[in-house]
Chain A
Amino acid sequence: AQRVTQPEKLLSVFKGAPVELKCNYSYSGSPELFWYVQYSRQRLQLLLRHISRESIKGFTADLNKGETSFHLKKPFAQEEDSAMYYCALLTSGGSYIPTFGRGTSLIVHP
């Protein structure tokens, strides 16, 4: 069975500092990986997906199949980045089974 691990429940940084939110996964097939974000009092929303290879709001994430990781990074954190971040995995093939990690709360201090 697939699993997504986000080892940090809380990550606290100061504005302008680099940020890395860790995500490790276990899955025997070829996964699709996503990062979702939930800002205070807002809905859960997609931040980025690995197949798009895009940078959203300064965040990037690279799929490392060797280390089975999909860490989310931003070189300079902003206060508005404070939110809950969830890493999610989607299995390949005909069955649609998304798996979310438990989430990491990012707090960016001024």
Chain B
Amino acid sequence: DAGVTQSPTHLIKTRGQQVTLRCSPISGHKSVSWYQQVLGQGPQFIFQYYEKEERGRGNFPDRFSARQFPNYSSELNVNALLLGDSALYLCASSTNTGGTEAFFGQGTRLTVV
């Protein structure tokens, strides 16, 4: 099992553009969460999806959106990119919501110029 996989690994975008990040969970995991991690800080929760429904949302603007597909993979979309959106975006999968162990991907490094 390759674990949680994220694509792409690195991405450079221009201010105002839109970006889509992808995540494939571990086989059998139905929950996917997204986090933003800026340098020197811990991961900050963006969204959690379980069985294709949003189960949790962090304090992020509406420019951030996500969805989960029938195969439990997920996409995170960010519109109207700002320089401050530059960060490592992490995806984590788990079997369920709540206190079950979350398995993290290697992340997508987004740079906005």
Contact = CB atoms under 8 A, between A and B. Distances in A.
B23 interface: no
A90 B99 contact: yes
B42 A90 contact: no
Interface in A28-80: 32, 34, 43-46, 49, 51
* Chain B interface extent, by class: 20 to 34
Interface residues of A, number: 22
A17 interface: no
A91 to B, nearest CB: 9
Nearest to B107: A43
Contacts of B55: 95-96
Contact of A100 (B43, B48, B98, B101): B43
Contacts of A90: 98-99
Q: What's the dominant secondary structure at chain B's contact region?
A: loop
Given A98-B33, A99-B45, A51 B106 contact: no
B41 A46 contact: no
A86 B33 CA distance: 17
A45 B99 contact: no
Nearest to A95: B56
Contact of B98 (A6, A45, A96, A102): A96
Contact of A102 (B4, B41, B56, B106): B41
B40 A44 contact: no
Given A86-B42, A96-B48, A102-B41, A32 B106 contact: no
A97 interface: yes
Interface of A: 4, 6, 32, 34, 43-46, 49, 51, 86, 88, 90, 95-103
